[in-house]
């Protein structure tokens, strides 16, 4: 009798798990794995977004500081015969001279230009539908890429692109008035300041792009009164 009971007990211990037990265990494991995957995926997204945000801020800051410094020092072309400070005054492009050699005049090699372009200077404009654009800087015949990951224009909704220049009266009763020298170049002598807006959008290996917008207003220090 004792032997039979021992055999029955051993058979019960070797019977294994039932199908219901296996299914419940598998469901619990799947739920745990999905929860771990969600935490891991969220961590990767946060890390990638943070990296993109840092890159966007750094790109925008360096580019804006360079433009701000050089536009502030824009110099009349040939005083007193030619007191122009800005020669190109478009929404996505600006050109001006800097007196780099201290001779109180601007030569061809001292003309600086910033343009929003797609890939190369000077004939590849940034158009709506492009994935991203760049800010190019030229001085004389040489040019270089200054800022990458600049937002491209769009038509719907209307957006003029990630590099925008606004030309302002900075003093008097019309302080801050937005001039449009692209349609009336006679406004050039009245421009006292330039507002620069730069939108940089970085999306490197991430589903979440990081966008940084920086805005500054630059007074033209050498503007003739």
pLDDT for position 93: 92
**Region 105-134 average pLDDT:** 85
- Residue 76 CA to residue 156 CA, distance in Å, equals 39
**Region 118-129 average pLDDT:** 84
Q: What is the DSSP letter of 136?
A: E
Residues 6+ apart with CB under 8 A from 166: 178, 194, 195, 197
pLDDT bin (cut points 50, 70, 90) of residue 5 is: low
pTM of the model: 0.71
User: What digits encode the pLDDT tens for the residues 70-113?
Assistant: 999 998 887 777 778 888 888 899 999 888 787 877 887 889 99
Residues 6+ apart with CB under 8 A from 194: 71, 86, 94, 165, 166, 167, 168, 217, 218, 220
pLDDT bin (cut points 50, 70, 90) of residue 15 is: low
Question: Omega before 157 cis (within 30°)?
Answer: yes
**How deeply is 96 buried, as exposed, middle or buried, from its count of CB atoms within 10 A (0-12, 13-18, 19+)?**
buried
- Residue 36 CA to residue 131 CA, distance in Å, equals 34
Percent of the chain with pLDDT strictly greater than 90: 12
User: What digits encode the pLDDT tens for the residues 148-172?
Assistant: 888 889 988 888 899 999 888 765 5
Domain boundaries, the chain: 48-219
- Residue 197 CA to residue 155 CA, distance in Å, equals 19
């Amino acid at each position: 009798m004792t032997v039979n009971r021992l055999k029955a007990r051993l058979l019960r211990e070797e019977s294994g798990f039932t199908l219901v037990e296996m299914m419940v265990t598998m469901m619990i494991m799947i739920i745990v794995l999905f929860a771990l995957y969600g935490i891991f995926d969220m961590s990767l997204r946060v890390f990638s977004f943070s990296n993109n945000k840092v890159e966007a801020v750094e790109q925008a800051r360096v580019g804006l500081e360079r433009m701000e410094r050089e536009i502030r020092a824009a110099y009349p072309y040939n005083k007193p015969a030619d007191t122009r400070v800005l020669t190109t005054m478009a929404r996505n492009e600006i050109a001006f001279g800097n007196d780099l050699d201290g001779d109180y005049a601007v030569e061809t090699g001292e003309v600086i230009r910033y343009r929003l372009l797609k890939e190369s200077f000077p004939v590849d404009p940034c158009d709506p539908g492009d994935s991203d654009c760049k800010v190019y800087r030229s001085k004389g015949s040489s040019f270089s890429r200054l800022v990458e990951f600049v937002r491209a224009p769009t038509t719907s909704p209307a957006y003029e692109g990630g590099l925008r220049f606004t030309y302002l009266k900075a003093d008097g009763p019309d302080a801050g008035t937005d001039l449009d020298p692209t349609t009336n170049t006679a406004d050039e002598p009245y421009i006292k300041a330039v507002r620069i807006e730069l939108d940089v959008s970085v999306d490197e290996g991430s589903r979440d792009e990081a966008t940084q917008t920086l805005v500054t207003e630059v007074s033209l220090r050498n503007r003739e009164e």
